Amino acid sequence: MAAYRAVNVEGTLTLARQAAIAGVKRFVLMSSMKVNGEVTNHGQPFTDAHIPEPEDAYGVSKYESEIELRQISADSGMEVVIIRAPLVYGPEVKSNFLTIMRAVQSGWPLPLGAVHIQRSFAAVENLVDLIVICVSHSRAANQTF
């Protein structure tokens, strides 16, 4: 937990405070869907109205950074946009998504009928488009996506 807090909370807040002092108008934080928790009611996606329920150290640290960042925003007037990104895929993807891709490419039948958990994915190009919009769109100010 200490390592996650050092990077995700203290690192983020140090940068945000310096940005506010420098007169940055808007700070965009790449957070994580892990802030929301691990599961929803069957068939229901996470939404912007979902009450955060992080379950692991990573998710907790990302949520703590969001809370503190909102306070910096309130104190300084710097706008904040929070993006809770899902699993991102694209060229040179690694980790869990790479494992899934390799399993599919192997040609072996996968027991997907036994899987009842739905996950959201985002193409890296789509995530970049969202970030670009969040940097400048007036209605993105102080929103969580």
Contacts 24+ apart (CB under 8 A), 10-19: 12/65, 12/68, 12/69, 13/65, 13/68, 13/69, 13/72, 16/69, 16/72, 16/78, 16/80, 17/72, 19/78
Active site (catalytic) residues: 58
Beta-ladder partners of 123: 89
What CA–CA distance (Å, rounded) separates 36 from 101? 25
- How are beta strands 87-89 and 26-30 bridged, if at all? unpaired
